Structure 1
Amino acid sequence: MSGTTAVARAQGLVLVVEDDPALRVMLRYNLEKLGYRAEVAEDGEEALAALDRGRPDVVLLDWMLPGISGLDVCRAIRERPNLRDVPVIMLTARTEEQDTIRGLDTGADDYLTKPCSIEALDARLRALLRRATTTYEVLTFETVRLDPETHRAERGGRRLALGPTEFKLLDFFMRNPRRVFSREDLLRRIWGGNIHVELRTIDVHIRRLRKALNGPGEADIVRTVRAAGYALDDAPTD
């Protein structure tokens, strides 16, 4: 991971969970140089203890940790009501597609493959922090209600357990109901044009959004349009 000479600016608190001592020190140094506040943990147990002490703005989480794995830490974050909307970036040396999908399915919002540049990490962090701090009016679509300020979403009075990226997707769809967006459109609108995210990432997050949004007996309102993309609609999925 390369260094940088960017000017420091006010940022959020990043919990860095990394078992490699040299990489842990380098990440903390570069993040603080960029203006982030950084807390570090060397394994899963230490990470969970840090999360008990306070809520970070983003978790940068190594996949391969001794003892409690990064995937297990990510699951624990998503199971805690006070933490389930904290963005998680998985940092991994694994490059297989199924490994990436597995990490996203566990609840990660993004992933970076080692080695990566601090500039790429900074871009991902800034994108997640922007999404977490943007507030708008309460949105409604049929029986779905979304409040960006309280980061709360409901369907028919049932609270929806959404990760940060699924919340952002639902927010975007509810502002543009019944319009079909390609995967490329969604990548550009949700992640930003300057960040490289593979197209399959969208499918993973759509699947997670559907799982949270559509309860037993409820119609699937996330419509798949073959060869075109996705839309929020009252029509059944193709």
Structure 2
Amino acid sequence: MAEMTYTMALMGNPNTGKSTLFNVLTGLRQHTGNWPGKTVTRAEGEFTYRGATYRLVDLPGTYSLYSNSADEEVARDFLLFERPDITVVVVDATALERNLNLALQVLEMTNRVVIAVNLIDEAKKNGIHIHTEKLAAKLGVPVVPVSARNREGIDALLDAVEAMAQGRISTTPLSIRYSPEIEQGIARLLPFVTDMVGDTYPARWIALRLLDGDASLLQALKQPPRPLAKEGNAYACCGSVKSV
């Protein structure tokens, strides 16, 4: 039986511990460079878990996916065109409300999402208790508390990732309802967007971005970026595959 390989994206605001989690999962099996045509740094690595290989792409830290910067555009385009098997959104347990803004945007683009509530140890020190089960029920996707720097909750996170990758989790992402005027605009645009992209891309999200005048998205849809390929033998220098 052939070994399964999945693509997994890491997303999050800056300073949420996303890179720490990336390092914990991939160990030395990492490669850094620039995204094609961009001066934005790209980090990619691999790890194995229960016989499956995960290609892990650490997307630039961003506060939104509105393509107001090169970082945001890279993150948006990867989710839209590469369509990773799993997207782990790393949020800071000590600033959850602010961090969930990005998580909600990701949920508008894909339903294959796991929320990693990082820095849970810091939250406890500050007297903050995160009801992850209630949050999962509200968001409609798995929510796992972790402390990446202390390697706490990593197994539980990987269990959720594995279940997501294998299709054993059924998600119902929270759908944001906007003002009546915006919802009417989305409804008018949806038939045209669906005719244009079919089931390939998230039509409602595209309609919303078009209403917002996102010209860069239109350009990207006309000329999608080429798929991100692993560069040569990028991992060969760094030892055996890390088994978490």
Q: TM-score, normalised by structure 1?
A: 0.35
Q: TM-score, normalised by structure 2?
A: 0.35
More contact order relative to length (CA 8 Å, sep ≥ 6): 2
